[in-house]
Chain A
Amino acid sequence: MAKVLFEGVSKRFGDVAAVDQLDLEIADGELLVLLGPSGCGKTTALRMVAGLEEVSDGSLSIGDDVVNDVDPKDRDVAMVFQSYALYPHMTVARNIEFPLRQQRMDAAERTAKVAEAAGTLGLGELLDRKPGQLSGGQRQRVALARAIVRDPKVFLMDEPLSNLDAKLRVQTRADIVSLQRRLGTTTIYVTHDQVEAMTMGHRIAVMQGGKLQQVAPPEELYERPANTFVAAFLGSPGMNLLEAERVGDKLITPAGEINVPEHLSAVLDGPVTLGIRPEGLHLSTSGLAGTILLVEMLGAETQVHCSLEGGATVVVRQGHDAQRPTLGDPVVVGVDAAALHAFGPDGTRVAGT
């Protein structure tokens, strides 16, 4: 068990900086989720910890040791690949046993450990099968068993659930979380699924274009996004963003005016990007003017997409008992001003909010 520390770590492929100046500390025993859109450098960051990718710049430590030049086999990290990467010619038992054999552990101890890991993941019945004879979910559990059996310092997981169907995904998600909490092994978990991120991580690190955008516990990330990217990326749909300008005690937008809420009145001045979650908007009689663009009925809730005067599009979340509007109708969107977020011209959260 150990912490993992990125200090100014970069990885360049030719001219592309896949990971750019990453500073991040993952505490001992923490489950940190790396979240971001496709191509943002999550896998690259993870592979650098594993030693499968060389660090171009900066220093990467596991525990108290800088591991930039340490061979993967000497890092004592276990990785669960998206493709599971099981050894197709070995039985499940042999697969799980493989890392132990490499440590020259004696046979009796090996058998005991394999039985224990297989028991933890409910693989007892499958030990004699080959990976080709298993379902996706079973393979996934074999990959996990192979990772936990060696009791490594760090677990690395690269979208391990992406090949599973929705139901199995929810189940396995819960299994991984409880396993991680029980074993207390430092874990870096890569995903681009924000539901996975919100439900699993102690903290979430959001990346974009190789750069770290924000690291915070899930609630904080949702409630106090550090910039417009994080604001718009998290939530489904993400936060609505509106350009506005403060004049006196009003926030002026092309579609109408909003009273400056108390929590923003001291810090706002001039142009500002306002952020508001869909649940902070409602269809009303006073507020911002626009037309209905799209109505999406999702069961418990309805998402109403509105095109505001001046060109911005916002999404309003309605409970399922609300009156559903008709496409193309004019509409007035009411804003719960107390729920407004404010971002400066550079996109970062206005200080003090």
Chain B
Amino acid sequence: MRSLAVRRRREWALAYALVIPALVIFAVFTFYPFIQNFKLALYQNPPYPGLPSHFVGLSQVTSTLTSTSFLQSLESTFEFVLLVVPIGLFGGLMLALAAHKKLKGMAIYQVIFSSTVVSSVAVAAVVFGTLMDPVVGLLPWLGLNPHPAILSNPTWALPAVAVIAIWQFLGLSFIIMTAGLQSMPEEVLEAARLDGARAPTMFFRVTIPLLSPTIFFGLVIGTIYAFQSFGQIDILIGPQNAAFTHTNVLLYYVYTALSVQNNPGLAAVLSIVLFVILLSVTLLQFRFLERRVHYASN
């Protein structure tokens, strides 16, 4: 008995010893900044750099949350997310279904469809930026010349950058959906065919329910991805652009608050808001959707 207790203790000691390096890194680079961020939110920076910031309590939080630029940013963010996630998931599912045929050469399509995962934001932005260019892009080539050009058009700039994010998310979405399809019990689908199910019934009553855990996973991942995208916007639009206020999603606002406006206090408030939104959206998804999601149990 005694030796067992000793061994237990040794095992625990070893476990902690192994975890500590990771804990230290997390503490220094994640937990400490995270807490520090809350402190920053309570201090206001003077408009000119170099002067000391001073404690203002929650007044900076309330003034930010009620400002028009914040509300505009919030609206753009949700519009962006609501464009990227559903379209990206649906597109990924369609591609996965198309490539889930036991035909020769399908592997090539699978590689092509999933390739957007490994392309960088910068490359994607430059390619799409060229396609959307008012002079050498696709639209003038088709004889269309919207004015102002798409990427400086307050109405179309956000959907345009959303297209790039969708394109990039498509690869991941395709991989997730393909994994889901491949782990689907083949015999259940065959049983449905023998039971006389026609194509729409197969899809909506069998395939989709069986795939629901996968779709749910994709939804959570996609939402986080969409909330965190801003590289396309920074590269193609930027703060000088006429459409800037309509494409200033939250994370980009955090970035410009810090690097353009030199305002750490504002950036801190915005990043807390983003954190709270992401956390609540994810919790909501788990709470409301998970109950309706089927997890196969045999």
Contacts and interface: CB of A to CB of B under 8 A. Distances in A.
A168 interface: no
A73 B194 contact: yes
Contact of A85 (B188, B196, B198): B188
Nearest to A133: B297
Interface in B171-192: 185, 187-188, 190-192
B119 to A, nearest CB: 36
A13 to B, nearest CB: 12
A78 B190 CA distance: 11
B100 interface: no
B185 A85 contact: yes
Interface string B188-223: 101111111110010000100110100000000000
B197 A102 contact: yes
Q: Which has the most chain A C-beta neighbours within 10 Å: B190, B191, B297?
A: B191
B297 A102 contact: no
Interface string A121-163: 0000000001111000001000000100010000000000000
A98 B192 CA distance: 8
A131 B193 CA distance: 19
Nearest to B293: A89
A99 interface: yes
Contacts, number: 75
Interface in A96-120: 98-99, 102-103
Interface in B47-90: none
Nearest to A81: B187
A51 B191 CA distance: 11
A132 B294 CA distance: 11
A130 B212 CA distance: 16
B193 A52 contact: yes
B298 A102 contact: no
B196 A73 contact: yes
Contact of B209 (A52, A86, A89): A89
A158 to B, nearest CB: 9
B196 A103 contact: yes
Q: Which has the most chain B C-beta neighbours within 10 Å: A73, A84, A86?
A: A73
B195 A146 contact: yes
- Give the bracket for the number of chain B residues in contact with chain A: 20 to 34
A83 B196 contact: no
Contacts of A99: 195-196
Interface string B282-298: 00000000000010111
Tell me if B's interface is mostly helix, strand, loop or mixed: helix
Contacts of A226: none
Given A87-B188, A88-B188, A132-B297, A72 B210 contact: no
A33 to B, nearest CB: 20
A83 to B, nearest CB: 5
Q: Which has the most chain B C-beta neighbours within 10 Å: A72, A130, A150?
A: A72
Contact of B191 (A75, A79, A133, A139): A79
A77 interface: yes
B297 A131 contact: yes
A81 to B, nearest CB: 5
Contact of A98 (B185, B195, B212): B195
A139 B210 CA distance: 18
Given A88-B296, A89-B294, A102 B201 contact: yes
Contact of B195 (A52, A83, A88, A102): A102
A50 interface: yes
Contacts of B188: 85-88
A88 B191 contact: no
Nearest to A156: B194
Nearest to A52: B190
Contacts of A146: 191, 195
A87 B187 CA distance: 10
A50 B298 contact: no
A88 B194 contact: no
Contact of A73 (B185, B193, B206, B210): B193
Contacts of B195: 73, 78, 98-99, 102, 146, 150
A87 B192 contact: yes
Given A50-B194, A88-B298, A98-B195, 12 more contacts: A52-B190, A73-B198, A79-B190, A85-B185, A85-B187, A86-B298, A87-B209, A98-B192, A102-B195, A131-B298, A132-B296, A150-B195
For the complex of A and B, 6 pairs with smallest distance between CB atoms: A132-B297, A102-B196, A89-B294, A85-B187, A99-B195, A85-B191
6 contacts: A73-B197, A85-B187, A85-B188, A88-B297, A98-B197, A132-B297
Interface of B: 185, 187-188, 190-198, 201, 206, 209-210, 212, 294, 296-298
Interface of A: 50-52, 72-73, 75, 77-79, 81, 83-89, 98-99, 102-103, 130-133, 139, 146, 150
